[in-house]
Amino acid sequence: MITLSRRALLASTLLPLGAALAPARAQSAPDFGKVAPPIFSALAKANDIPGLVVGITRKGEHEILAIGQTARTGGQPVDGDTLFELGSVSKTFIVALAALAAERGQLDLNAPLEKVAQRLTGTAFGALTPLDLATHATGGMPLQLPDSIRNEKELVEWLAAWKPAAPPATRRAYSNISIGVLGLVTATALGVSFPRAAQRDLFPLLGLNSTYIDVPEDAMARYAMGTTKDNKPARLTPGLLGPEAYGVKSTALDMLTFLDANMGVGTVEPDMARALARTHTGYFETKSYVQEMVWERYPWPVGRDRLLAGNSADMAMKPQPITRLDPPSPPAPASFINKTGSTNGFGSYVVMLPAEKLGIVVLANRNYPNEERVKAVYALVEGLRGA
């Protein structure tokens, strides 16, 4: 089943009193309802995805394409309010919270971690900063913690003994550990748990009404069931650093609102706006993109092959050369900014073209290859721009 819907940005959540909605797109603009269905119907079929929701925001106007069901068997039709696991797209919220804490003077992003964790004094990890964690500039930290690490005390002991594969500012490797620890450090600075800080403070500030770490009982009926590679039902299993690194669940409509806030569409509180802008400062250059705080920035226009290289498994899983930008690169409107995310049973992809105030979110209840997500979204962008 395929459904299309349209919704304007809600003035009550992001626009100040008396402000007007962003102007509608020109009548000559290519129609989402014609461009998107063939691309994403083919994507869902080719990757055996039970349910997929694609959303776009163009200057604050939201449109949704929904394909399929919330579960392989016994599900309901997906829509813009269906909850999906975001996987590593969750990290974009973690850095937003860290940047907000920095804006409020509660966290120094450039202070060594040993300043907030005495056990790490004199260690390689203690010499890193929150900003190093937010940009994967740790010198090659593993993707996941060893299975033997079961609590925060054992985590700190492991971090104290960890040795980088190379100097932190010369190589990068994607790591759930580094971003997870950033979540813990930020929560410590705020004096609350990370789930409480995110759900009580961050999500409401962003105008998000259906975004959770812990899905409440009254929202469980909207929570899609994931599908593993061998077609078994799956949802995220709680674990150490899970809430911080990959634990957010959200809807396509909420994610479009989040992308609007990142692109300066509508209004959020001034400190939140500054925090989001800080997350789009570029700190390192890789062979494919500029590394912001978790977000990955490409120049726009950009070729599809460069996007595929930047979102490849090698780029994420193997240490990569990086060059520190001095001074850091300010937010660049003429950019293609993206982030992928996956859990065992879900796959997500979010994209922004700030200069065009265009944002795209793709949520699915199956983990499928990043390159397929990139190809589909790139085709959508070309179609929407009349290329």
pLDDT at residue number 8: 52
List, in order, residues 6 or more apart from 98 with CB less than 8 Å away: 107, 109, 130, 134, 182, 183, 185, 186, 293
Identify the three-state secondary structure at position 341. strand
Across residues 218-225, what is the average pLDDT? Answer: 98
Cβ count near 26 (within 10 Å): 6
C-alpha span between 312 and 66 (Å, rounded): 27
pLDDT at residue number 160: 96
Task: For residue range 168-205, list pLDDT tens digits in order.
Answer: 667 777 899 999 999 999 999 999 999 999 999 999 99
Q: Percent of the chain beyond pLDDT 70?
A: 93
Tell me which amino acid residue 67 is: I
List, in order, residues 6 or more apart from 291 with CB less than 8 Å away: 135, 136, 137, 172, 282, 283, 284, 285, 297, 322
111 pLDDT exceeds 90?
yes
Task: For residue range 31-64, list pLDDT tens digits in order.
Answer: 999 999 999 999 999 999 999 999 999 999 999 9
Closest to 362 (Cα-Cα) out of 87, 119, 167, 159: 87
- In the chain, the domains with their CATH numbers are 2-8+29-242+262-384 (3.40.710.10)
Q: Which residues does the annotation mark as catalytic?
A: 88, 174
16 pLDDT exceeds 70?
no
Cβ count near 386 (within 10 Å): 9
> Using CA atoms in the order 39, 57, 340, 184, what is the torsion angle rounded to 10 degrees?
-160
Band of residue 318 on the pLDDT scale cut at 50, 70, 90: confident
Across residues 226-249, what is the average pLDDT? Answer: 95
For the chain, how many residues are written? Answer: 387
Measured CA to CA in angstroms, residue 86 lies from 110, 167, 193 at distances of 28, 31, 20
Task: For residue range 127-144, list pLDDT tens digits in order.
Answer: 999 999 999 999 888 899
Closest to 322 (Cα-Cα) out of 297, 285, 281: 285
Identify the three-state secondary structure at position 153. helix
Cα 180 to the center of its chain, rounded Å? 14
Task: For residue range 337-377, list pLDDT tens digits in order.
Answer: 999 999 999 999 999 999 999 999 999 999 999 999 999 99
Across residues 93-114, what is the average pLDDT? Answer: 97
Provide the 8-state DSSP code for 200: I
Within 13 A of 319's CA, how many CA atoms are on the CB side? 14
